[in-house]
A and B are shown apart, each in its own frame.
Chain A
């Protein structure tokens, strides 16, 4: 019995207005609840009145509700099994209202009808529907006016889950040909009907190792054993490219360059008091779900950044929301559970104007979403995830390049806060003990997100599984998060905790079992969203919003009661042991029995060879631009430079009440490169965060790309007031074609630069992550095979702690009459600059970082900011001096009279002076009264007076002191905001 409640807005529906704008046609929206349960008429009326607001809404029960005039109706709902958050809330409310419980088969489903009133053909409407829904997670039905009238509505189909798969455990015969072994590894275990279950991402060497392990045991593996090993050994989980030997680097890139750098830096810093390079603030690095540094005597700050690229390519909204909510769990899963306090984001997309089609499959099948749709979906996803969770998301960036068309990059990060000690014990140390219950907390398990870990370890192609998409439910996670970090943690109710991310239970339980020495899981106890899942699916599903905990037996009752009180589901699914085995049973039958040693350390090393060839670049002959004004105004509109206020204004950056330096600064609301947050309201201390990403330089040399990314992340934070001696870094490598020796050579160079530059700066890496196969294989709009790889991309995130958050500086000019200085040198480093990219000019002269010099400069600026000598400060990055001058002017809505005649550095041409992207530069303005003090602190650091702040116009004289640019600040503002004006 399906009851349909349809709801229409009585007042102008702003959602319909927005959709009208998008479609260019008059639109009416009707929301639908379909309740698959029998009720009395009175009950139905009560439910309806509870679910709706009579002031603004009109409703109907079991009769269609439509506008008088319309030509087509499109109803969009979810596919079977896809998490429907609104429906879940509705059923919870109905149960509470009527004091009833929904039985297994009884459920609520939501959908939405878009009525269009325009003269359209059926084909037109299909096109419109396609722009409104994503077939991977949703379904659409279309009716004409006549059909709707004839049927008296849209009908009441509901997406009930019907799984008819066999739940029996299959043995997988590994005594097969090498070809078949390769196929099992690449495409998955064969079903009886010949279809395959989806990628295991196990290559032949791995498959042979597994084969010989089970051969010694005298049996074949079960499907769950093979799936489980695949998850644990996946590139996504084990990061073999960073850990296996590469060329003569026996210990691998991570240990040799990243971890080693941090260890060396920590040794130069003192543990107590002050040394010339500051204190060793690292507390927990590279060993937990996040890295942690000391905040003050009582608290630690954690940080972690992740990517969620592949899922975001399939469904941008779901991919992004589960990305951000997922990285929040890396905070909850740090130590005994840290509280998420700041989100970061960063997106790499193809140009939003690119509307040419790409297909994953042959014959124009499996169409990829267009760049603009991916971008808007990703923006929405992070909006929902961050805002719903009550975590501020102040800091982010956008990078655009056509090579992100096959796979967008979606970076998400979370900063956390945790007391150093809980119950007198170190909060960052945790250990599951033999005998502790294995407890799963939070959401239930469904088919969503199966093969996510192995999928992201492969290139995207027609075999990419649709089930790899997970749906986010931030509120379920919020309830879980609050119950853990605000209550259970303080009560000492568990010994260990970790996140259920990639690989689901198979990874989280097996990982925690390392602490105790083994585990015994009773898989039938895992609560499911719907019946019919095979055991291997339950074990590896990446259904969201779940944590795994080790709860001592004597605390289980209290823990369970607390969780129940907070509306959080908690279930004992097994027990941690010291058996040295990972054993899984299903209804008393052992279906997995693998030694912990083999599971975690059995994978063979795969030594890699690199073959790096320095790309050759012709030095273009550059004609002097006729009109520098036009050029600069044009650059301000460029996707990689322009303001993205529409995003900053929809991401809550005020929640938790600690916002200090905001994402939009000054009168002109310019996007900031660094933001400052006060994590503890009882303390004046602040956290400064920023990011550096320069994929374009990598086209010339990934070594300098990495160096520039580090300098950018450090410089942005320093410009806002950070002390370089109290600054930590994180690395996120997003690479492509990582089997190719040249790509590995590029990787090696980039990682080497991370070592070199972090050591000079004394800025330790505390956490990192990589995603190595951001490649697309498919077909273009003519059906021709095409492969697209992202440019090697490295995101460096910076995190600094300062004693007084009021000693920070924004980028906006403050007062006419103030003096403007440039710190740092400008050289003719035009390679891969925005200026050169704009005109397709090439040059191999990529910016190079002079870390020793820069460090002195950064320390001097910190001194000045501590003494309140700096009125405004802006880091010079993409677009060079010209763009930075424009941005600081727009932010302050003030002009400047500046001359480049004393510009430090070797640059010889005006256009190069304005648009070179030399690193290590910051522009500041100061109160004239502070001149003496400022210049004294700067001493012999490269620094030059450029001019003064004036009222309305930015005037720039060139190297020979002739006027090269003049524009009203209002015109600069217009250009800077024009690109995303209507977004």
Chain B
């Protein structure tokens, strides 16, 4: 049976459609559910195996990115989320979704996602190295994805950092890879501490990341696809259709099969 993924929406979240598409394409059944429909019990979180908090601009980042939406969850859905994560379920928070998870306190450590070093919203691609064996990241060693955020710099004190490292909770780090070399970009786009781009809880099942895997589902999403297309054609190789982001969603589906 296909696993069911609940993609939350509302109050300025805006990546729910492409996130649903990613889950559907990967073999899950994606369902976009407005947070108020969860609060009013029109839909039940317990009917799903995967919870996704997609990217966006919930509450316009007012009072701190992700904060107001996290407060709404705390005020109305906290127990349901608790019981959801206690089961063998998966959670992903992408970009604003990660900021919401961070403010929600669902990870066992206290950290903040704060203003980029540039103090400016930044849109580009990054290269990532996989650091733990979260179910979301099985079989992936490196990958490149786009980012688009103003508050993606992860900050934590030294104690928290060493806990993150010791407990294998660091999931993704920014590294210099194919895209950075291609476009001559610095690996760390926001000044994130120890180049951290994404973390998980200790089990690896709750995953938050600043980059957007759902924006990298097609080969033609890559910034250098026109170059690669020429290269592959000259090497008489097939030009791929799929982008690097899909593997994360496939992993989630695979986890339940």
Contacts and interface: CB of A to CB of B under 8 A. Distances in A.
A595 interface: no
B177 interface: no
A390 B226 contact: no
B183 A667 contact: yes
A55 B156 contact: yes
B62 A85 contact: yes
B220 A805 contact: yes
Q: Interface majority SS on B: helix, strand, loop or mixed? A: mixed
Interface in A477-503: 478-479, 482
Contacts, number: 192
Interface residues of A, number: 71
Nearest to A90: B63
Nearest to A645: B124
Interface in B228-257: 229-231, 233-234, 239
B10 A18 contact: no
A51 B167 CA distance: 30
B114 A667 contact: no
B11 A567 contact: yes
A662 B56 contact: no
Interface in A383-424: 383, 387-390
Given A383-B121, A657-B221, A812-B226, A55 B215 contact: no
A324 to B, nearest CB: 14
A652 B123 CA distance: 6
B57 A475 contact: yes
Interface in B121-151: 121-124, 146, 148, 150
B150 to A, nearest CB: 8
Contacts of A662: 223
Contacts of A482: 9-10
A15 B119 contact: yes
Contacts of B4: none
B18 A14 contact: no
A86 B67 CA distance: 12
B148 A654 contact: yes
A112 interface: no
Interface in B99-115: 103, 110-112, 114-115
B123 A567 contact: no
A650 B156 CA distance: 26
A268 interface: no
A806 B220 contact: yes
A298 interface: no
B96 to A, nearest CB: 10
A479 B10 contact: yes
A688 to B, nearest CB: 13
A902 interface: no
A678 interface: yes
Interface stretch (A72-80, A92-100, A241-249, A840-848): A92-100
B201 interface: no
A478 B18 contact: no
Nearest to B181: A667
Interface in A640-684: 648-657, 659-662, 664-667, 669, 678, 681-682
Contact of A51 (B21, B63, B114, B220): B63
A659 B18 contact: no
B60 A53 contact: no
B191 A14 contact: yes
B158 interface: no
A17 interface: yes
Contacts of A15: 115, 119
B154 to A, nearest CB: 10
A93 B68 CA distance: 6
B124 A85 contact: no
A92 B68 contact: yes
Interface stretch (B33-41, B44-52, B79-87, B202-210): B33-41
B120 A650 contact: yes
Contacts of B194: none
A924 interface: no
A4 B182 CA distance: 50
B217 to A, nearest CB: 6
Nearest to A663: B123
B14 A13 contact: no
A611 to B, nearest CB: 49
A199 to B, nearest CB: 33
Nearest to B118: A14
B59 A55 contact: no
Given A659-B215, A805-B220, A806-B239, A654 B119 contact: no
A660 B62 contact: no
A475 B117 contact: no
B221 A659 contact: yes
A525 B154 CA distance: 47
B29 to A, nearest CB: 16
Contact of B21 (A387, A654, A681, A868): A681
A514 interface: no
**Residue of B9, B68, B75 with most partner-chain A CB within 10 A:** B68
A191 interface: no
A972 to B, nearest CB: 14
B212 interface: yes
A14 B14 contact: no
B123 A657 contact: no
B199 to A, nearest CB: 14
Contact of A96 (B75, B182, B212): B75
Contacts of B63: 50-51, 86, 89-90, 93
A97 B59 contact: no
A161 interface: no
Contacts of B64: 51-53
A769 interface: no
A51 B103 CA distance: 11
A14 B34 contact: no
Interface in A24-59: 50-56
Interface string A178-215: 00000000000000000000000000000000000000
A655 B148 contact: yes
B116 interface: yes
Interface in A671-717: 678, 681-682
A317 interface: no
Given A93-B63, A475-B59, A654-B146, A660 B220 contact: yes
B78 interface: no
Contacts of A665: 226
Contacts of A13: 115
Nearest to A666: B227
A479 B157 CA distance: 36
A579 interface: no
A466 to B, nearest CB: 25
A812 B227 contact: yes
A653 B125 CA distance: 11
Given A89-B60, A649-B123, A810-B226, A565 B112 contact: no
Nearest to A661: B226
B229 A806 contact: yes
B2 interface: no
A18 to B, nearest CB: 4
B17 interface: yes
Contacts of A664: 223
Contacts of A929: 234
Nearest to B9: A482
Contacts of B229: 806
Contacts of B55: 655
A801 to B, nearest CB: 16
B17 A656 contact: yes
7 contacts: A54-B110, A565-B37, A654-B148, A661-B226, A665-B226, A667-B224, A872-B226
Given A89-B62, A657-B15, 20 more contacts: A11-B114, A14-B153, A17-B117, A52-B64, A55-B111, A97-B75, A388-B57, A390-B15, A475-B60, A566-B10, A567-B11, A649-B122, A650-B120, A661-B226, A681-B21, A806-B225, A806-B229, A810-B227, A814-B227, A868-B233
Which 10 interchain pairs have the tightest Cβ spacing? A390-B14, A89-B62, A657-B18, A810-B226, A55-B112, A475-B60, A18-B119, A86-B62, A14-B119, A475-B12
